[in-house]
Structure 1
Amino acid sequence: MAGLIRRNFDTDPDEVRPFEADKGEMRLVHLDGGGVGRAVFQPGWQWSQHVRPIAGTDSCQAAHAGYVLSGRLKVVMDDGQEDEFGPGDFMLCAPGHDAWVVGDEPAVVLDWQGYVDYAKRA
């Protein structure tokens, strides 16, 4: 492992995965310790509308360990628990949820856990 690694989500991601209906994208960099993703969710984005057709599951089955850089996301778990996350919030989110952008600003989230297979087309 190199002593210093620099990657840029804008100029050299390993993968770019667009969401349905041009409602955002996820950019992923692969590292020895796993993948790190940055997702940009555009206003109007909702997992059940814009990722479910890609994932093929009733709710998001990825676990997330993420940090919200900007915008706001509402997350509702399959069991009804819900919360809203905004800039500066760290979130742990178990599999089994829906989520959507709240407001007119894109939500930008870094995730160290759940994006390796997130919105991955077969």
Structure 2
Amino acid sequence: MAGLVVKSLSSPEEVRPFKDGMGKLELVDLASGGVGRATFQPGWRWSEHVKPIAGTDSCLASHVGYVISGQMTIRMDDGEQVTLGPGDYMRCPPGHDAWIVGDEPCVVIDWQGFVDYAKG
């Protein structure tokens, strides 16, 4: 059995900036997988600020996350849409766009989809 492992998103092992300074992704890697904290600035939209990095028509990452602050709307490729806010937990399959709602940055912790997210 492995020993206790402690890592902090306050000292990430990797930082990936989004296009045009619209936010960043901070990552730590655990044996069980990566964990990321993304900060999305007001005006951020996946199709404008990550699509050029990902090179796909929509986000193909599957996310399991928790919203700490701010609001984000997610629209699935099939048209289903939801707005998330502080305290919301979500599971989001591949095939979506997302954008920030309002004037506050949105901070999301993700246990699944950020390992390859915004990676050029």
Superposition TM-score, scaled by structure 2 size: 0.97
Q: Distance in 1 between matches of 2:88 and 2:43?
A: 21
Q: Distance in 2 between matches of 1:74 and 1:9?
A: 24
Aligned-residue CA RMSD (Å): 0.7
Runs (4 or more) in structure 1 with deviation over 3 Å come to none
The aligned amino acid for 1:2 is G
Per-residue Cα deviation, 1:75-103 (whole angstroms, up to 9, x for no partner)? 00000000000000001100000000000
| Post-superposition offset of 1:59 | 0.3
| Post-superposition offset of 1:6 | 2.2
Q: Distance in 1 between matches of 2:17 and 2:10?
A: 14
Q: Which runs of 5 or more structure 2 residues have no equivalent in the other structure?
A: none
| Post-superposition offset of 1:8 | 1.7
Aligned length: 119
| Post-superposition offset of 1:2 | 1.7
Superposition TM-score, scaled by structure 1 size: 0.95
Q: Distance in 1 between matches of 2:117 and 2:17?
A: 11
1:7 counterpart residue number: 7
Q: Which runs of 5 or more structure 1 residues have no equivalent in the other structure?
A: none
Q: Aligned runs of 1:55-94 on 2, under 5 Å? A: 55-94=54-93
